[in-house]
Amino acid sequence: MNLAIVGLQWGDEGKGKIVDYLAKDFDINARYQGGSNAGHTVRFGREKMIFHQVPCGVLNKQVLGIIGGGCVLDPRVILAEIESLKKYDPVIESRVKVSRFCHLIMPYHIKLDEYREGTKQAIGTTRRGIGLAYEDKYGRTGIRLGDLYNTESFGKKLSLNISRKNLVLMDVYNAEPLSDNEIFDRYMGYAGKLRPMVADDTRILGDAISAGKNILFEGAQGAMLDIDFGTYPYVTSSHTISSSVGIGLGIPPYNVESVLGVVKAYTTRVGQGPFPTEDSGQLGALLRDSGAEFGSTTGRPRRCGPFDAALVRYAARINGAREIIMTKLDVLSGIDSLKIATTYEACAEFDPFASGSLVPKYMKVPGFRQDISAARSPEDLPGAARDYLKAVEEHTGLKIAYVSVGPERDAIIRM
Ligand code: GDP
Ligand code: IMO
Ligand code: MG
């Protein structure tokens, strides 16, 4: 069975933990969009690994990890990640394949992202050069991983890009120009190191599908950060929803057989932009403290607020998710009364165009005091926690398939 795991909020729903947990039953784990802006955390025993580029299911030794052409690739980041993974598998490179189609994140993308974020145009990006790299891809001037293996053509493409970017750096931002020789040498160094992982990914996936292998697709970010369907322009620069799987991996859409949405038991967002259930008071601060809500990629404090069922209904619809996994239910323990947004004053469903002015309508359910992090079956949960889950199911119209009650691998309940 092929299954897509997607975030149904603003990212950081706990996709990393879920992918790592589910990957034990899969042969392949493939990322199809995004880049080093993603921060997917996996905790096991005393170990903690934050994945930015590599699919996080690879901690399961039977899994082949694939980074599809829909992703943008920062060679420095992936190589550092591969180094850290060697602790768990000295030959990890043999289980990670990267598409030749991946557009490369170049030093000028990162520099320009940083400069832009210093202006009124800032949207609170991760400053990893993501938007700039996708701009070049769609502007047809980007450099792909496969281009590194034709030195002459790479040199020409790099010079052209650098001359254009230097104009912007110097004229718009009054900054120092970049040197193409230094970048050329650096990327040639990366090319050699990446070589064993560069692959014809669409063929590997096509063959795997024909052989009936199981593929787990790993989404990055969340539906509300989708370039079209999210809270534009406060979004990322790729399609985060399940329709992106096919295009990001070069496989037909009907090979995505099932879609599982990941939601947090409450809502968070990092960076600027609308957030209807944001709580800037006590509750928000409490959730941030108890849930350790600080960005996995940038360390920024995440904005927090109650669960928004109306938003999740929209996100599930555009993703085709009929079931969800709820993470971080343990974080709600100790809150006397729990709020769930069921709809908004002006409209019943989340509307991205109105997202800046939506006023949520809440229902309340009693909270629970018990520590639920040791719960491993639905019966282990207090009645009030089960009632909260029931209310979420009722107001989202989605079945909760799993509930996660702690960051560790085994802190999960099958419902
Ligand atoms: P992702 O980007 O969707 O993979 O999520 P992140 O890794 O950025 O953020 C999720 C954070 O919550 C990480 O620090 C996880 O270790 C942690 N986490 C995941 N599931 C749970 C859970 O059920 N309970 C608690 N307390 N933490 C969790
Ligand atoms: P994971 O995969 C949360 C947010 C940034 C910013 C906007 C655009 O860990 O869930 P970008 O750097 O992509 O140009 O920034 O998107 N953002 C994320 N927020 N989780 C992520 O990834 C994110 N990736 C990007 O904070 O608001
Ligand atoms: Mg994250």
Q: What is the model's pLDDT at position 296? A: 81
Distance in Å, CA 172 to ligand 1 centroid: 39
Provide the whole-model pTM.
Answer: 0.97
Q: Which amino acid is at 377?
A: S
Residue nearest to ligand 2 atom 21, measured at CA = 221
- Containing 130, the helix (H) or strand (E) segment is helix 130-138
Choose the CATH number for 103-193 among 2.40.50.140, 1.20.120.1200, 1.10.3720.10, 1.10.300.10: 1.10.300.10
Active site residue 40: yes
Question: Could you tell me if the CB of 13 is within 6 A of ligand 1?
Answer: yes
**DSSP designation for 231:** S
Report the chain's mean pLDDT, rounded to a whole number.
Answer: 97
Same fold, 2-102+198-260 and 263-414: no
Write phi, then psi, for 132 (nearest 5 degrees): -65, -40
> How many residues are listed for the chain in this entry?
415
Q: What is the model's pLDDT at position 246? A: 98
Asked if 27 contacts 64 with a C-beta cutoff of 8 angstroms, the reply is yes
Q: What is the model's pLDDT at position 298? A: 86
User: What does the alpha-carbon distance between residue 224 and residue 274 come to, in Å, rounded to a whole number?
Assistant: 10
Q: What is the mean pLDDT of residues 153-158?
A: 97
Asked if 43 contacts 347 with a C-beta cutoff of 8 angstroms, the reply is no
Q: What is the mean pLDDT of residues 323-344?
A: 97
% the chain with pLDDT above 90: 96
Strands 399-404 and 412-414, bridge-based pairing: antiparallel
Task: From the candidates 20, 40, 74, 113, give the one annotated as an active-site residue.
Answer: 40
Q: Where are the domains of the chain?
A: 2-102+198-260, 103-193, 263-414
Distance in Å, CA 181 to ligand 1 centroid: 41
Asked if 307 contacts 360 with a C-beta cutoff of 8 angstroms, the reply is no
Q: What is the model's pLDDT at position 121? A: 82
Q: What is the model's pLDDT at position 131? A: 98
Q: What is the model's pLDDT at position 349? A: 87
User: What does the alpha-carbon distance between residue 162 and residue 393 come to, in Å, rounded to a whole number?
Assistant: 52
Distance in Å, CA 50 to ligand 3 centroid: 8
Fold classification of 263-414 is Adenylosuccinate Synthetase; Chain A, domain 3 (3.90.170)
Indicate the CATH number for domain 2-102+198-260: 3.40.440.10
User: What does the alpha-carbon distance between residue 245 and residue 130 come to, in Å, rounded to a whole number?
Assistant: 18
pLDDT, one tens digit per residue, over 250-306 is: 999 999 999 999 999 999 999 999 999 999 999 999 999 999 999 888 889 999 999
Confidence band of 120 (pLDDT split at 50, 70, 90): confident
% the chain with pLDDT above 70: 100
Q: What is the model's pLDDT at position 126? A: 96
Residue nearest to ligand 2 atom 27, measured at CA = 271
User: What residues does 216 pair with on adjacent strands?
Assistant: 3, 29
Q: Which ligand is nearest to the CA of 327?
A: 1
pLDDT, one tens digit per residue, over 360-406 is: 999 999 999 999 999 999 999 999 999 999 999 999 999 999 999 99
